[in-house]
Structure 1
């Protein structure tokens, strides 16, 4: 089994447990093209429950690949033309000039290229536990949002009462994670963006409770059985849910886990 965690200032932190069972059926998410966020130019076709597959062209227009210090790969999501959200551990203590963001392409390190002008790491980030593992990257030059391949993810509206109770997102919710991480532990990077569907796990579940540091800012997600999951290089990538308003909303970012499938 795989666990991945993350944190959020404007979003709850995320803990992901990614493990896949047998293939299921494809589900097409047709979003509302009239909304300002959470809708890409093409509908996302995702294997429900299973995940672990290449993403379709222009289905996740907010997904970005981030090249750090000439050696590291992380993911992120577009909040606006000038702001990217990612995991704090990806960019903590890194000079902005060493951070390159690539948007509008399913191929890593291609598409619109921008250099960071500033990096804001969550003020309560704890590197040892990955609590509040969230950072914002400001781009030196704004992205061209008029491009059909680029869009922005929606930010959730959740009450402080719900967040303090650790009841969001609710257990059993289907969420999708995307990234350019390795397909197996220590393996090579895929050439194109990958997507995987999992479900959020109750914080009291034994697999989750043993690794969850703070349920108010982290959560677990996954499916038992073995298979594909998030892996090295997926850190910072968006974890999303599809709402009743037919929009994709960010619920967290991939942070850390236990091995890979």
Structure 2
């Protein structure tokens, strides 16, 4: 299984919590919705992918150990207050031992982040089963609300799908995981495009149990997929110009092998659980999609 003081330096503004550089490329999304006049390249290592451009996926989050800086998991910003991730990499952690990084494009994270904060709570799904990777989903409540408007779209949220949504076609997955089986992990955020595999076919190909709450993705010939270190990151689609997260990197049998799809947590069955937690902090609305766009 995959198992400081305020300073001004040129155009780079540095505070104790954020680094903001107006010289970054224009972001592709403004609060989840694609900006007019921007385009997304079709991804060609995650295994077999390509380097993401700076600010291309502004919802990508990184979770590390607070004291040792060890990489723990990927994640995605779904509101100004919450990051969505997997359960299996975080079940042995506590909120006080984590650091959340946003707006990161390359390692080391401490030299390229736009926003850094600590969690106030780590919420693993109550029915998470570590041995079987069941209900492999977690929410991280942030201690400090992310100032999205102040960050100008360079850090941004991703939309969640509507209730009853049935993912199909192709999807993108992003992360800093290994570039090959037992190979080095990525120094720059990677992205790859994958076909979704229906659950019936996925079950035929897997020795392990595939749940109705899973999604599967990968090419029959292999060569491209998520790998160790990508766990917790988003599986998402671009729908009507909007980035919509449909899954969370969960597990796989080795990396990008032929007829071995990667297994992801399907976000849709957990929308009620997510809403119940997020709405408790924000009664006016758990998340606010643009009118007419996919969202809850």
Which deviates more from structure 2 when the two are superposed, residues 90-99 or residues 133-142?
90-99
Q: Tell me the alpha carbon deviations over residues 182-227 of structure 1, each in whole angstroms, 9 at most, x when there is no partner.
A: 1122322211100011011121215545434312x10211112232
Give the Å deviation of 1:90: 1.6
Give the Å deviation of 1:38: 4.4
Residue of structure 1 equivalent to 2:53 = 56
Pair 196,212 (structure 1): closer, same or farther in 2 beyond 3 Å: farther
For the residues of structure 1 that align with 2:50 and 2:194, how far apart are their CA atoms? 13
Residue of structure 2 equivalent to 1:237 = 233
Give the Å deviation of 1:61: 0.6
Residue of structure 1 equivalent to 2:223 = 227
- In the alignment of these two chains, the number of paired residues is 221
8 Å CA contact 2:194–2:224 kept in 1: the answer is: no
Of 139, 143, 148, the match for 1:140 = 143
Pair 212,59 (structure 1): closer, same or farther in 2 beyond 3 Å: farther
Unaligned ranges ≥5, structure 2 = 4-26, 257-296
Give the Å deviation of 1:39: 3.6
Higher Rg:
2
Structure ranking higher on relative contact order (CA contacts 8 Å, 6+ apart) = 1
Which deviates more from structure 2 when the two are superposed, residues 50-59 or residues 91-100?
50-59
Residue of structure 1 equivalent to 2:105 = 106
Q: Tell me the alpha carbon deviations over residues 5-27 of structure 1, each in whole angstroms, 9 at most, x when there is no partner.
A: 9xxxxxxxxxxxxxxxxxxxxxx
For the residues of structure 2 that align with 1:208 and 1:241, how far apart are their CA atoms? 24
Specify the SS of the correspondent of 2:251: coil
Specify the SS of the correspondent of 1:47: coil
Q: CA RMSD in A?
A: 2.6
Unaligned ranges ≥5, structure 1 = 6-29, 163-167
Pair 240,38 (structure 1): closer, same or farther in 2 beyond 3 Å: farther
Q: What TM-score comes out, normalization by structure 1 length?
A: 0.76
1:256 counterpart = 2:240: no
Residue of structure 1 equivalent to 2:278 = none
Residue of structure 1 equivalent to 2:265 = none
Residue of structure 2 equivalent to 1:24 = none
Specify the SS of the correspondent of 1:156: coil
Give the Å deviation of 1:77: 0.2
8 Å CA contact 1:38–1:151 kept in 2: the answer is: no
For the residues of structure 2 that align with 1:32 and 1:195, how far apart are their CA atoms? 16
